């Protein structure tokens, strides 16, 4: 089942031929905003599944031509993120696990704008990621049981401003958990969508193709099988430092071989097999420009383990 928010935070089921409005099954006290409404579905899925399946089969369709999809979870309590969590197409061995938090205020949805701040960044990178949606509260979760906490999946872009600081001017020193990552938490820096796909629809989340295009140019192109640390292990790791609740999310990391600059006027599209596809646009009031295409320096650094992403890159 693919659950969406659409047209002023109505909750619906996304079908091949349209959207079925399921707002009528949500109590008024939960229909105050999109996060609360979707949270009600997540928390009560066991009791609602038969009714939802029936509505999906027989409910009237709203044409996709008049549907505006929104972020399916517009304000999760926590956005947990894994860092350096891929083997970079087999070039890197499993390393130390680490992670961070993005601000919940950074969420946007399909067809929205990523607004680049005026800060003096080396570069603004796009990072295509599979995002886990939690369906149960958890803390100190055992890896063996971690997938029981998953409600579903969505697509996400971790927008990253590479801003040099005295602490990371040289080779980075990674801690296990970094807390809030300010350079990844600017407003609009966490696009998600287009739907929450319930986990029963994804037979193997560790074997999904992920692609990211900028203005139709293919950049990111990898499989979730390249994760150095599995989804289950990542959930267990993150839960050692942060508890989570239903409707919270976990960005599972990216393969850095397809990173590149985001700049004014770009259309950035992410697609994950069986999960979905959506696009966002980029606005930069300063009109800064970087070299087009894949950031090969970052790709090499990540393959060789010679540093973190984002060497100094002055706009051209």
**Among positive and negative, which fits the CA dihedral 213, 200, 206, 86?**
positive
pLDDT of residue 161: 96
> Can you give the CATH number for the domain in which 267 is found?
3.90.850.10
Of 34, 50, 70, the position where a domain reaches its end is 70
Residue with tokens 């601000």, as numbered in its chain: 103
User: Is-contact 210 128, C-beta < 8 A?
Assistant: yes
298 belongs to a structural domain:
yes
How many whole angstroms separate alpha carbon 102 and alpha carbon 305? 24
pLDDT of residue 178: 86
User: Is-contact 160 186, C-beta < 8 A?
Assistant: no
pLDDT of residue 176: 86
Domain span at residue 53 reads 2-70
313 belongs to a structural domain:
no
Same domain, yes or no: 295 and 254: yes
The pTM (predicted TM-score) of the whole model is 0.95
How many helices (H) and strands (E) in the chain?
Answer: 4, 19
Of 45, 70, 95, the position where a domain reaches its end is 70
311 belongs to a structural domain:
no
Same domain, yes or no: 104 and 245: yes
For the chain, 316 residues long, give each residue's pLDDT as a single digit of tens.
999 999 999 999 999 999 999 999 999 999 889 999 999 999 999 999 999 999 999 999 999 999 999 999 999 999 999 999 999 988 887 778 999 999 999 999 999 999 999 999 999 999 999 999 999 999 999 999 999 999 999 999 999 999 876 544 444 445 689 899 999 999 999 999 999 999 999 999 999 999 999 999 999 999 999 999 999 999 999 999 999 999 999 999 999 999 999 999 999 999 999 999 999 999 999 999 999 999 999 999 888 877 667 666 656 5
Residue 9 region by backbone torsions, left for phi larger than 0, else alpha for psi between -120 and 50, else beta:
left
Of 70, 101, 125, the position where a domain reaches its end is 70
159 belongs to a structural domain:
yes
> In sequence order, what are the residues at sequence separation of 6 or more whose Cβ sits closer than 8 angstroms to the Cβ of residue 246?
39, 42, 43, 134, 135, 136, 137, 151
Same domain, yes or no: 91 and 61: no
């Amino acid at each position: 089942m693919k659950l969406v928010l659409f047209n002023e935070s109505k909750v619906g089921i996304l079908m091949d031929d349209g959207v079925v409005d399921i707002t009528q099954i949500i109590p008024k006290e939960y229909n105050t905003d999109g996060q609360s409404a979707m949270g009600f579905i997540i928390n009560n899925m066991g009791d609602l599944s038969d009714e939802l399946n029936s509505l999906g089969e027989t409910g009237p369709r709203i044409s996709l031509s008049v549907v505006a999809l929104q972020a399916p979870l517009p304000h999760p309590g926590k956005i947990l993120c894994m860092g350096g969590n891929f083997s970079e197409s087999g070039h890197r061995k499993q390393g130390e696990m680490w992670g961070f938090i993005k601000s919940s205020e950074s969420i946007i949805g399909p067809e929205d704008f990523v607004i680049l701040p005026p800060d003096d960044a080396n570069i603004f990178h796009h990072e295509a990621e599979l995002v886990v949606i939690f369906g149960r509260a958890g803390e100190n979760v055992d890896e063996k049981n971690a997938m029981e906490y998953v409600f579903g999946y969505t697509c996400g872009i971790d927008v990253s401003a590479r801003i040099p600081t005295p602490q990371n001017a040289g080779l980075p020193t990674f801690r296990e958990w970094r807390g809030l990552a300010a350079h990844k938490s600017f407003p609009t820096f966490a696009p998600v969508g287009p739907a929450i796909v319930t986990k029963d629809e994804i037979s193997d989340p560790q074997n999904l193709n992920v692609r990211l295009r900028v203005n139709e140019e293919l950049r990111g192109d990898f499989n979730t099988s390249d994760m150095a640390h599995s989804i289950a292990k990542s959930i267990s790791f993150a839960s050692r430092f942060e508890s989570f609740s239903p409707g919270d999310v976990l960005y599972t990391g990216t393969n850095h071989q397809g990173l590149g600059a985001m700049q004014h006027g770009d259309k950035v599209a992410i697609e994950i097999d069986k999960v979905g596809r959506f696009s966002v646009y980029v606005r930069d009031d300063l009109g800064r420009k970087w070299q087009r295409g894949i950031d090969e320096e970052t790709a090499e650094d990540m393959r060789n383990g010679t540093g973190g992403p984002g060497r100094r890159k002055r706009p051209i």
